[in-house]
Amino acid sequence: MPADRRPERQSGVRALLAGEGLEALLVTHLPNIRYLTGFTGSAGLLLLRPDDALLFTDFRYATQAPAEVGRSADIEIDAANVWERLKRACAERPGQTIGFEAHALTVRDAGRLKECARRTAPVGELVEALRVVKAPEEIEAIAAAADLAQQALAEVLPTIRAGQTELLVASRLEAALRRRGSEWHPFQTIVASGPRAALPHAHTSERVIGAGEFLLLDFGAQVDGYSADLTRTVVVGGRADERQRAVYEAVRVAQLRARQDIRAGMTGRAADALARDLLAARGFAEAFGHSLGHGLGLEVHEAPRLSATAEEQLPAGAVVTIEPGIYLPGWGGVRLEDDIVLTAEGPRGLSDGLTELVELV
């Protein structure tokens, strides 16, 4: 049974709070509440103070919350208004300054907090800073999600034919993911064909897949709350032509170099350059408009960033995606994405890294 890391995680947040000169933190971002307490419900407030943690939620979770949270927090159930229950808790210690997650709290709820505490202060992404470095069991969950996703893709790929719609392919892929145990889809599955493969975040549509076209599949799986994120691009109903092969190979080589050469201690900007420089050298500088990758964990997009503007160093234990792409409007696009963990010894793949061109003839 994995170690219970919730006490040390809460202690880490308290240390960061002390550095900010704050006595308490109201956590409202649900992935952060889960990280600190294990609570997976859709509604809750967590008040973290120097000597205790209070989780406020409603009647729907009266049974679930104690089972998930255990002794990591005291649970307060309020059938009417959790903010009123929070107000009573704050009244116990009226002199405290309560920090709040400025990136997660709405203006409306910030007003509610001011009714609970006279002194409040916005803070940065304190909990997210701790979440960057993954524990072994977190890495194992992401790897399990990646394996599940790869199995689903292996089932569906042989069934894809020209003449099918993108929505049909997406429905089969999502069903295969669920059958294999994915708790949910971490994001909307992207199935984009032909010219629509040039849309980095295309919405899957009713478009019919044409023979000889690229088909881009960006999909994920979730295990124990942790996400995997993969992208593969294939040719459907024919052999790739010369231009398709050239574009695909440029992305494949850039992705392989980044997967192999990224290192802990490198900045996100330097990591991004591993792929970007190669694509630029082949004349595709303007066709790769997004970042190389992002952190992966309880959220499908979290810290750290692998981008041309990210100056922060990448720590050992971070899990990131490597996903360069080339997008040519009106023609199509290619993206290849794998998940890796940065270790002291170098990068280690959590997904299979099988990126040779597949032609579904």
pLDDT digits (tens, 9 = 90+) for 207-250: 999 999 999 999 999 999 999 999 999 999 999 999 999 999 99
Q: What pLDDT does 214 receive?
A: 98
Contact 318, 135 (CB under 8 A): no
User: Cα(274)–Cα(190) distance, rounded to whole angstroms?
Assistant: 26
Distance CA 85, CA 98 (A): 16
User: With the CA atoms of 41, 47, 48 and 49 taken in that order, what torsion angle do they form, in degrees rounded to the nearest 10?
Assistant: -160
Q: Is the dihedral of CA 204, 205, 211, 214 positive or negative?
A: negative
Taking the CA atoms of the chain, what radius of gyration do you get in angstroms? 23
Q: Give me the residues of the chain with pLDDT under 50, please.
A: none
The pairs formed by 78-82 with CB atoms below 8 angstroms and a separation of 24 or more are 82/43, 82/44, 82/45, 82/56, 82/57, 82/58
What is the structure's pLDDT at 117? 86
The span from the CA of 327 to the CA of 250, in Å, is 12
Q: How far apart are CA 164 and CA 295, in angstroms?
A: 34
Q: Residue 21: CB partners within 8 Å, gap ≥ 6?
A: 97
Query: b or e along 115-124 (b: 16 or more beta carbons within 10 Å of the residue's beta carbon)?
Result: ebbeebeebe
**Residue-level pLDDT at 334:** 98
What is the residue type of 348? R
Q: By CB neighbour count within 10 A (0-12 exposed, 13-18 middle, 19+ buried), where does 248 fall?
A: buried
pLDDT for residue 294:
98
Helix (H, G, I), strand (E, B) or coil at 248: helix
The predicted structure's pLDDT at residue 71? 96
Q: Phi/psi of residue 304, each to 5°? A: -90, 170
Q: How far apart are CA 324 and CA 336, in angstroms?
A: 6
Burial of 267 (C-beta count, 10 Å sphere; 0-12/13-18/19+) = middle
**The pLDDT value given to residue 317:** 98
Distance CA 231, CA 352 (A): 12
CATH 3.40.350.10 positions along the chain are 6-131
Q: 255 with 278: CB under 8 angstroms?
A: no
- pLDDT the model gives residue 116: 87
- Cis omega (within 30 of 0) for bond into 304: yes
Q: Answer yes or no: CATH 3.40.350.10 is held by domain 6-131.
A: yes
Residues of the chain with CATH 3.90.230.10: 136-360
Is residue 197 within 8 Å of 206, Cβ to Cβ? no
Backbone torsion region of residue 346, taken as left when φ is above 0, otherwise alpha when ψ lies between -120 and 50, otherwise beta = left
What is the pLDDT at residue 95?
79
> What residue type is 30 in one-letter code?
L
Given this model, what pLDDT does residue 80 score?
A: 80
Secondary structure class of 229 (helix, strand, coil):
strand
* pLDDT value for 94: 84
What is the C-alpha to C-alpha distance for residues 324 and 329, in angstroms, rounded to an integer?
A: 16
Q: What is the pTM of this model?
A: 0.96
- What was the pLDDT predicted at 274? 98
The CATH superfamily assigned to 136-360 is Creatinase/methionine aminopeptidase superfamily (3.90.230.10)
